Amino acid sequence: MPEILRRVARFLHDKIGWQGLGFAICLGIIVFAFVVLYFQLRDIVFGEVLDALRNTPRQALLLAGLFVTAGYVILTFYDYFALRTIGRPDVPYRIAALAGFTSYAIGHNVGFSAFSGGAVRYRIYSSAAGLSLVEVAKICFIAGLTFWLGNVAMLGLGFATDPTAANAIDRLPPAFNRAVGVAALVVLVAYVMWVSAKPRHMGRESWNVQMPGGGLTVLQIAIGVVDLSCAAAAMYVLMPAQPPIDFITLAVIFVSATLLGFASSSPGGLGVFDAAMLVALTHFDKENLLGALLLFRLFYYIVPFALALVLVGVRELLIDLEWISEHMPPHPEAIEEAGAAARDQESSATAAAKANRRDAEP
Predicted TM-score (pTM) of this structure: 0.79
* 32-52 residue pLDDT tens: 556 665 566 677 778 888 888
Sorted by where each begins, the domain ranges of the chain are: 2-323
* 201-223 residue pLDDT tens: 887 766 788 888 888 899 999 99
As a whole number of angstroms, the distance between CA 74 and CA 78 comes to: 7
Query: Among 14-23, 51-60, 253-262, which stretch is predicted with the lowest mean pLDDT?
Result: 14-23
Q: Which residues contact 52 (CB under 8 A, 6 or more apart)?
A: 240, 287, 288, 290, 291, 292
Average pLDDT along the chain? 81
Buried b (16+ CB within 10 A) or exposed e, 113-129: beebbbebbbbbbeebb
Q: Which of 151, 216, 141, 226 is closest to 184 using CA atoms?
A: 151
* 158-202 residue pLDDT tens: 899 888 888 888 788 989 999 999 999 999 999 999 999 888 888
Q: Report the percent of the chain where pLDDT is more than 70.
A: 76
